[in-house]
């Protein structure tokens, strides 16, 4: 598969001291994790993610929401980082300052070797008490009727992810916004650019004068603002970019 890359992009990347990237569910599609908008299958097919990934949905039907996350947690644990995740970990080694911000909760960037990762929407691998926010140490307890309860607090357990209507982790958001404002080159990879405030990061990068590269098989509401909009799969385009830098 030969990927046509704009030579100006490679020139910009060679000069760049600070590179930042925002990733969305699309970068994990080639690891067989359905994108957020495709994830609604089986029992949950009749729901939209915005309906299930909310505190209200958990309050209304904690068992169903817990089961949806347990099903996704299992899928993420079995998933393997793909060449797109690996390429971003390689890119981090080649530049002075690299910041990776992800909307994904699957942990695949860290498993691919990325060191500086900010998880804007939390992690599906962690669970916490819904009342106190206290994280669970160790294994998720067995239970007859899910969700299980936190052994110390007694509260119901919920995934440690950011639901719609919940605030994002302040430090992750601040660091990511600063990286977007200071980037020489900013990548937005595999995201429909619909969910805020994450979707505001590439816009901050454009405002600050960065070279902004969108990688997505489809157009998004951000496409017209990008310096380069590369139509294709991140698992193919990102390795091609790293290979071009090594020439
Ligand atoms: C908040 C965790 C305030 C859970 C998720 C303006 C400002 C602030 C808020 C808002 C605002 N406008 C609206 C809001 C509210 C809301 C929002 O944005 N709603 C949307 C629907 C309009 N935002 C919030 O509620 C946020 N909270 O603002 O709180 C606040 C402040 C103080 C105090 C209290 C409250 C919280 C949002 C976080 C929600 N949680 N995830 C979970 O995972 O279950 S969001 C969820 O969507 C995932 O994280 C997902 O990553 C994310 C975005 O979706 P994408 O990643 O883009 O995935 P998607 O499927 O949409 O697209 C995939 C893309 O990949 C596609 O474009 C496809 O073409 C592409 N693709 C496919 N294959 C490939 C590929 N690309 C490359 N290669 C491939 N092979």
Where does 1-33+81-121+167-247 sit in CATH, by number?
3.40.50.1220
User: What is the mean pLDDT of the segment spanning 105-109?
Assistant: 98
> 34-78+123-161 belongs to which CATH class?
alpha beta
- Ligand 1 pocket, residue 29 CB under 6 Å: yes
Q: What is the pTM (predicted TM-score) of this model?
A: 0.96
User: What is the mean pLDDT of the segment spanning 194-219?
Assistant: 97
Would the CATH topology of 1-33+81-121+167-247 be identical to that of 34-78+123-161? no
Give the pLDDT confidence of 36-80 residue by residue, as tens digits: 777 666 666 777 887 889 999 999 999 999 999 999 999 999 999
Would you say residue 108 has pLDDT above 90? yes
Ligand 1 centre and the CA of 100: distance in Å? 16
Pocket test for ligand 1, best of 21, 22, 23, 25 (most atoms within 8 A of CB): 25
Q: Identify whether 121 is a catalytic site residue.
A: yes
**Structural domain boundaries in the chain:** 1-33+81-121+167-247, 34-78+123-161
Residues 6+ apart with CB under 8 A from 144: none
DSSP state of 54: S
3-class DSSP state of 37? coil
Residue 153, both tokens: 């607090």
Protein residue with its CA nearest to atom 43 in ligand 1: 105
- Ligand 1 pocket, residue 37 CB under 6 Å: yes
Protein residue with its CA nearest to atom 12 in ligand 1: 196
Residue 216 CA to residue 60 CA, distance in Å, equals 36
């Amino acid at each position: 598969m030969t990927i046509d890359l704009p030579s100006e992009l490679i020139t910009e990347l060679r000069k760049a001291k600070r590179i930042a990237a925002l990733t969305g569910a699309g970068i994990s599609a080639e690891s067989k994790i359905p994108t957020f908008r495709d994830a609604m299958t089986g029992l949950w097919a009749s729901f939209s993610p915005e309906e299930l990934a909310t505190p209200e949905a958990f309050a209304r039907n904690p068992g169903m929401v817990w089961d949806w996350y347990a099903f996704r947690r299992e899928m993420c644990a079995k998933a393997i980082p793909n060449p797109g995740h690996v390429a971003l970990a390689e890119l981090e080694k080649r530049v002075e300052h690299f910041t990776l911000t992800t909307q994904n909760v699957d942990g695949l960037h860290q498993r691919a070797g990325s060191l500086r990762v900010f998880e804007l929407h939390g992690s599906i691998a962690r669970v916490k008490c819904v009342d106190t926010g206290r994280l669970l140490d160790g294994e998720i307890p067995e239970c007859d009727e899910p969700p299980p309860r936190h052994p110390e607090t007694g509260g119901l357990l919920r995934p440690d992810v950011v639901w719609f209507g919940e605030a994002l982790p302040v430090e992750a958001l601040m660091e990511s916004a600063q990286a977007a404002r200071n980037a020489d080159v900013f990548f937005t990879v595999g995201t429909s650019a619909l969910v805020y405030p994450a979707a505001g990061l590439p816009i901050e990068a454009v405002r600050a004068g960065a070279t902004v590269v969108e990688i997505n098989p489809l157009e998004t509401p951000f496409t017209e603002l990008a310096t380069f909009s590369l139509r294709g799969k991140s698992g193919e385009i990102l390795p091609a970019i790293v290979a071009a830098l090594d020439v």
